[in-house]
Structure 1
């Protein structure tokens, strides 16, 4: 699978599966021995099992209202980046999460390495200006 096709599938599935908290659909995007970094100073989640645990923990208290991903920007080296914005409620409190994900794919189109950078804000809002690609 070429990188563009893998990246477009990645953002399409993430957008739908995050909204539904469908961990199984998300795990299908990742290689068995993937490495996911959810925060710069947090230990990475290694392999699908650790990633599944992280996703279930992340989704446990979250009630999603809307998830949007930008079209991915694709590199020539098996990498892609996309921005995202999520309107959610956690414990009844509205919040907005906005950030980006960097992904490196293998030849089969599975994510072997991902890195997220994100920020949260109180209430449901759009980021100042417009997300780069949304």
Structure 2
């Protein structure tokens, strides 16, 4: 699968999966041995099981989410994809804005991902 197709599929699946808290759809995007780092100084999540646990944990308490992923910027086997989420976290409105960097294998699965994101209270 070419990287542009894989990256758009990644963005579309994450957008739908986050909106509907569909962890299974999201985790299907990752290679079994994938490594995900959420924020630069957190320890990485290694393997699909650890990534699924992190995603499930991150959705806890989040409701009424509106998620948008931008068109991926692709270079070689990598993509950068901005995202924005408007949600309620334990009842309080929040906005989360960030970017995910993804490296894909030849089959279009994510093998390494890392996020940079920030949240603010309210919807902006």
Q: Shorter chain as normaliser: what TM range?
A: over 0.9
Could you tell me which runs of 5 or more consecutive residues in structure 2 were left unpaired when the two chains were aligned: none
In structure 2, C-alpha distance between the alignment counterparts of 1:114 and 1:64, rounded to whole Å: 26
Runs of 4+ in 1 over 4 A off after TM superposition: none
Could you tell me which runs of 5 or more consecutive residues in structure 1 were left unpaired when the two chains were aligned: 126-134
Q: Give the TM-score taking structure 1 as reference length.
A: 0.91
Deviations along 1:31-77, one digit per CA (max 9) or x if unpaired, are 0000000011110000000001101111111114310010000002x
The alignment covers a number of residue pairs equal to 124
In structure 2, C-alpha distance between the alignment counterparts of 1:30 and 1:19, rounded to whole Å: 18
Q: Partner of 1:39 in structure 2?
A: 39
* RMSD of aligned Cα (Å): 0.6
Q: Which has more strand, going by share of residues?
A: 2
Q: Partner of 2:8 in structure 1?
A: 8
Deviations along 1:88-133, one digit per CA (max 9) or x if unpaired, are 10111000000000000000000000000000011011xxxxxxxx
Q: Partner of 2:97 in structure 1?
A: 98
What is the correspondence of 1:1-134 to structure 2 with a 5 Å cutoff? 1-76=1-76, 78-125=77-124
Q: Give the TM-score taking structure 2 as reference length.
A: 0.98
